[in-house]
């Protein structure tokens, strides 16, 4: 079905609650396996219908923010969504307690039940007020960051708007903009400390009400960690320090050389090339046409996927007045359709839409017929492997996007992937120590951040910029306030994506076949099962990170 023909109707919250309530009775009263299966099938189908209405409202609102109808529907859905949580929770509990559970597990596997158990561990009625407090605090952080008004270059800028000055070819401009940002954060240091104090205290209280000493375990449950523990992550961190940090240091030394500075400061860090970052050639229409050619040539499935997206109007990537900012990939389960939203602007970000976001969409497309639909969903490490690996599988077609700058793009892309990992791992280790020791003072936290910077990014010299000198850089990382323990997922996924990249360097076709298989399982296997099933090295063994770093070192050596 074409996107324009997909019908929207308001998912009336009282009606939805009643429907779910009746289906819950059916599930609970099932006397035979067949009745239980029939009741669950209805729950699954109705759930897909309701969430599709929410997503249609969201997508259509973002396509035209001036359309009053969808603005109102979006507001209704925002309000209605949380009100369905309670009945959904009851259904999950009924499924877990079903007398037919072992028959269901034989049919569907145990994973969706394990995941449901994990989800239940994160909630109890006693913590409702604390969850509301947590939401209030994260929203306050969000609003504080969004409200930034920084006077610079004769203008008043937001943090996003001052970003491009950090990449200016004039070092004085870069430094001045970094100081302006630093001053903004330093002026709000007390507020940012207090907010974080309250968040740590609230999350610790939640954990204790749920029967744990501290928040770390609950953070893992929230992230649906069903196949690895914090000990496994500690082994990953050792591998990062041993093999990825030295490689990143080499890349950063190369960058310093290229841009002609002795030491790399925070205001040099984003400035990669004296003549600017690699930028795509051609109009947005030409870029899009080359994307189509790429997916047609990559494999039969990607050709079919891309045509499906085009035929059903599932891309909206050109900028126009009234359209929301940013980009995303959403899924409309009722119509088994992913949807890609973007605003092409002539930077390499346009290509990311066609590789990274399309990787997410391809995965959703491949999972569209899996039942129950709970098994179509995967945790975020798996999702980011889908997208980050697709960025690398697209390499052979990059000359059509970047022309004479293709070699530069390869280097830029690989360096960005590798140098992100130490930073991301520092963010994760910081959170482990913070939540394991909830009594730490703001001063102790900043001192901790400085030791982690020295461990993971030893090349970075603060050079008198207070925000960095005082160990406050972490306060600009929204995930630390808003999504505890999320960050390591990007690092784990990036290592697996790089392992696919290394395989593709040797043989593109066999590497692609493994990736296709990885994607095809969707959420029917855990992240770790998917990695080992693909014959890739698990990131939770310290020495395995050497495989990735060796491949990158060889690639870099061969170029020089
Ligand atoms: Zn992504």
Residue 282 belongs to some domain of the structure:
no
How far is the centre of ligand 1, averaged over its atoms, from the C-alpha of 379 (Å)?
A: 12
How far is the centre of ligand 1, averaged over its atoms, from the C-alpha of 360 (Å)?
A: 7
How far is the centre of ligand 1, averaged over its atoms, from the C-alpha of 493 (Å)?
A: 10
Q: What is the DSSP code (8-state) at residue 299?
A: -
How far is the centre of ligand 1, averaged over its atoms, from the C-alpha of 450 (Å)?
A: 29
How far is the centre of ligand 1, averaged over its atoms, from the C-alpha of 139 (Å)?
A: 23
How far is the centre of ligand 1, averaged over its atoms, from the C-alpha of 207 (Å)?
A: 29
Residue 103 belongs to some domain of the structure:
yes
How far is the centre of ligand 1, averaged over its atoms, from the C-alpha of 380 (Å)?
A: 9
Residue range of the domain that includes 64: 3-111
Rounded to whole angstroms, the Cα distance separating 352 from 334 reads 27
Q: What would the mean pLDDT of 433-455 be, rounded to a whole number?
A: 98
Give per-residue pLDDT as tens, 2-55.
999 999 999 999 999 999 999 999 999 999 999 999 999 999 999 999 999 999
How far is the centre of ligand 1, averaged over its atoms, from the C-alpha of 104 (Å)?
A: 32
The pLDDT value given to residue 408: 94
Give per-residue pLDDT as tens, 318-371.
888 898 888 899 999 999 999 999 988 888 888 989 999 999 999 999 999 999
The pLDDT value given to residue 78: 83
Residue 223 belongs to some domain of the structure:
no
Number of domains forming the structure of the chain: 1
DSSP 523-542: GGS-HHHHHHHTTPPPTTSG
Non-local CB neighbours of 376 within 8 Å, separated by 6+ positions: 333, 364, 367, 368, 370, 522, 523
pLDDT > 80? residue 560: no
How far is the centre of ligand 1, averaged over its atoms, from the C-alpha of 39 (Å)?
A: 34
How far is the centre of ligand 1, averaged over its atoms, from the C-alpha of 127 (Å)?
A: 31
- What's the half-sphere exposure (Cβ side, CA atoms, 13 Å) at 71? 8
The pLDDT value given to residue 346: 81
How far is the centre of ligand 1, averaged over its atoms, from the C-alpha of 381 (Å)?
A: 10
Pick 406 or 142 by higher pLDDT: 406
Residue 496 belongs to some domain of the structure:
no
How far is the centre of ligand 1, averaged over its atoms, from the C-alpha of 222 (Å)?
A: 19
Query: Percent of the chain at pLDDT above 90?
Result: 87
The pLDDT value given to residue 320: 87
Rounded to whole angstroms, the Cα distance separating 163 from 153 reads 13
How far is the centre of ligand 1, averaged over its atoms, from the C-alpha of 329 (Å)?
A: 8
How far is the centre of ligand 1, averaged over its atoms, from the C-alpha of 209 (Å)?
A: 33
Query: Alpha carbon of 407 to those of 160, 177, 396, 511: distances in Å?
Result: 29, 30, 11, 22
Residue 39 belongs to some domain of the structure:
yes
How far is the centre of ligand 1, averaged over its atoms, from the C-alpha of 15 (Å)?
A: 34
How far is the centre of ligand 1, averaged over its atoms, from the C-alpha of 328 (Å)?
A: 8
The pLDDT value given to residue 85: 82
Q: What would the mean pLDDT of 487-508 be, rounded to a whole number?
A: 97
Give per-residue pLDDT as tens, 238-293.
999 999 999 999 999 999 999 999 999 999 999 999 998 898 999 988 999 999 99
Rounded to whole angstroms, the Cα distance separating 505 from 513 reads 14
- Segment among 136-145, 202-211, 397-406 with least mean pLDDT: 136-145
DSSP 82-113: GGGHHHHHHHHHHHHT-TTHHHHHHHH-SHHH
Q: What is the mean pLDDT of the chain?
A: 95
How far is the centre of ligand 1, averaged over its atoms, from the C-alpha of 545 (Å)?
A: 22
How far is the centre of ligand 1, averaged over its atoms, from the C-alpha of 490 (Å)?
A: 9
How far is the centre of ligand 1, averaged over its atoms, from the C-alpha of 133 (Å)?
A: 28
Residue 37 belongs to some domain of the structure:
yes
How far is the centre of ligand 1, averaged over its atoms, from the C-alpha of 354 (Å)?
A: 12
How far is the centre of ligand 1, averaged over its atoms, from the C-alpha of 487 (Å)?
A: 12
How far is the centre of ligand 1, averaged over its atoms, from the C-alpha of 387 (Å)?
A: 6
How far is the centre of ligand 1, averaged over its atoms, from the C-alpha of 559 (Å)?
A: 29
Rounded to whole angstroms, the Cα distance separating 231 from 227 reads 12
pLDDT > 90? residue 116: yes
Assess contact for 166 and 259: CB atoms under 8 A: no
Structure-derived torsion over alpha carbons of residues 123, 99, 35, 104, reported in degrees to the nearest 10: 80
């Amino acid at each position: 079905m074409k996107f324009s023909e997909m019908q929207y109707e308001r998912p009336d919250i009282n009606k939805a609650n009643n429907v779910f309530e009746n289906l819950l009775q059916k599930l609970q009263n099932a006397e035979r396996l067949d009745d239980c299966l029939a009741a669950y099938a209805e729950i699954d189908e109705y759930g897909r219908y309701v969430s599709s209405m929410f997503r249609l409202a969201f997508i259509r609102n973002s396509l035209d923010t001036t359309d009053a109808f969808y603005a109102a529907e979006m507001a209704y859905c925002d309000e209605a969504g949380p009100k369905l949580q309670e009945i959904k929770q009851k259904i999950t509990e009924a499924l877990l307690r079903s007398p037919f559970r072992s028959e269901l597990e034989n049919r569907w596997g145990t994973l969706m039940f394990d995941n449901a158990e994990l989800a239940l561990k994160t909630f109890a009625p006693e913590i409702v007020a604390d969850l509301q407090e947590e939401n209030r605090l994260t929203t306050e952080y969000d609003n504080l960051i969004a409200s930034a008004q920084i006077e610079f270059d004769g203008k008043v800028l937001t943090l996003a708007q001052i970003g491009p000055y950090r990449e200016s070819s004039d070092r004085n401009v870069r430094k001045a903009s970094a100081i302006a940002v630093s001053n903004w954060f330093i002026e709000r240091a007390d507020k940012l400390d207090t907010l974080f104090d309250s968040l740590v205290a609230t999350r610790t209280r939640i954990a204790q009400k749920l029967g744990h000493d501290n928040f770390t375990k609950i953070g893992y449950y929230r992230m649906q960690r069903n196949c690895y523990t914090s000990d496994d992550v500690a082994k990953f961190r050792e591998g990062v320090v041993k093999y990825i940090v030295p490689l990143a240091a080499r890349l950063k030394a190369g960058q310093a050389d290229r841009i002609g500075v002795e030491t790399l400061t925070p205001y040099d860090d984003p400035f990669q090339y004296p003549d600017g970052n690699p930028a795509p050639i051609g109009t947005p229409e030409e870029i899009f046409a080359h994307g189509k050619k790429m997916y047609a040539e990559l494999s039969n499935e990607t050709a079919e996927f891309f045509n499906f997206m085009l035929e059903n109007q599932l891309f909206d990537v050109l900028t126009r007045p009234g359209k929301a900012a940013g980009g995303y990939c959403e899924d409309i389960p009722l119509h088994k359709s992913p949807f890609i939203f973007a605003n092409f602007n002539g930077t390499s970000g346009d290509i990311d839409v066609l590789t990274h976001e399309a990787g997410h969409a391809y995965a959703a497309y491949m999972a569209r017929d899996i039942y129950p639909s709970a098994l179509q969903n995967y945790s975020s490490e798996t999702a980011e492997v889908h997208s980050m690996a697709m960025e690398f599988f697209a390499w052979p077609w990059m000359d059509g996007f970047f022309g004479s700058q293709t070699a530069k793009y390869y280097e830029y892309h690989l360096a960005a992937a590798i140098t992100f990992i130490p930073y991301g791992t520092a963010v994760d280790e910081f959170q482990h120590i913070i939540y394991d020791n909830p009594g730490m003072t703001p001063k102790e936290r900043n001192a901790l951040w400085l030791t982690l910077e020295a461990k993971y990014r030893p090349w970075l010299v603060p050079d008198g910029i207070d925000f960095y000198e005082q160990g406050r850089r972490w306060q600009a990382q929204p995930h630390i306030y808003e999504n505890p323990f999320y960050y390591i997922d990007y690092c784990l996924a990036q290592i697996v994506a790089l392992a696919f990249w290394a395989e593709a360097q040797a043989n593109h076709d066999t590497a692609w076949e493994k990736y296709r298989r990885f994607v095809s399982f969707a959420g029917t296997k855990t992240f770790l099962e998917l990695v080992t099933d693909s014959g890739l090295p698990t990131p939770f063994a310290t020495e395995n990170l050497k495989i990735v770093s060796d491949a990158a070192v060889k690639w870099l050596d061969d170029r020089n």
